[in-house]
Amino acid sequence: MKITTVLFDLDGTLINTNELIIKSFLQTLDTYYPGKYSRNDVLPFIGPPLEESFGTIDETKIEELVKYYREFNIKHHDDLVEEFEGVKETVEILKEKGFKLGVVTSKIRQTVNMGLNLTQLSSYFDVVITVDDVQKPKPDPEPILFALEKLDSKPEETIMVGDIHYDILAGKNAGTKTAGVAWTLRGKDYLSSYNPDFMLDTMTDLLEIVGAK
């Protein structure tokens, strides 16, 4: 079936927030647990909701850790965030060709809006689903299915694009096609092991896959 709808993860897929996220985790953890965590230690925390990541460290301090993280993250956001190469070109073409576009992310709406506005991408998306909008975040299919409901789209005519395995699994669980991005911080081989239908070396590769080129 022809692809009519493209859903994107945000962090690590459309916009490069890697350094912001890593520094936010390291600052938070070094404040509460000095010298205990390194850069490599926090890489597995990137992608899942903050509550889930911090819950693996100390379930009694989740709220406190999340609060500190978000305050640091918001303060330094605009200095450390930029779009990935080829993103704006790709979404512009998809929009012009009549594709329905959405963002499905595990971030809160405040920082999602900050990222989309900073990179001037917000006008391209018909729907933006955040962790605030659902009961169960990715890899549960709920966020994707909610986006499709709002877009009046079907899973079989949709592709989900993301940089971590939660994105691929959520797409599979929702019945969409899936595409991984080779610029994932965890490495192309890592993401390929979850068997996405496609792997993008650059975002513009998506255009040929969905028939927009």
φ/ψ (deg, to 5) at 122: -60, -35
In the residue annotation, 9 being an active-site residue is answered as: yes
Written as one string, the DSSP assignment of 60-128 is TSHHHHHHHHHHHHHHHHHHH-EEPTTHHHHHHHHHHTT-EEEEE-SS-HHHHHHHHHHTT-GGG-SEE
Distance CA 165, CA 81 (A): 22
What SS3 class is residue 158?
A: strand
Non-local CB neighbours of 70 within 8 Å, separated by 6+ positions: 50, 108, 111
Q: How far is CA 74 from the centre of its chain?
A: 17
Go through the chain and tell me how many residues it has. Answer: 213
- Positions marked catalytic: 9
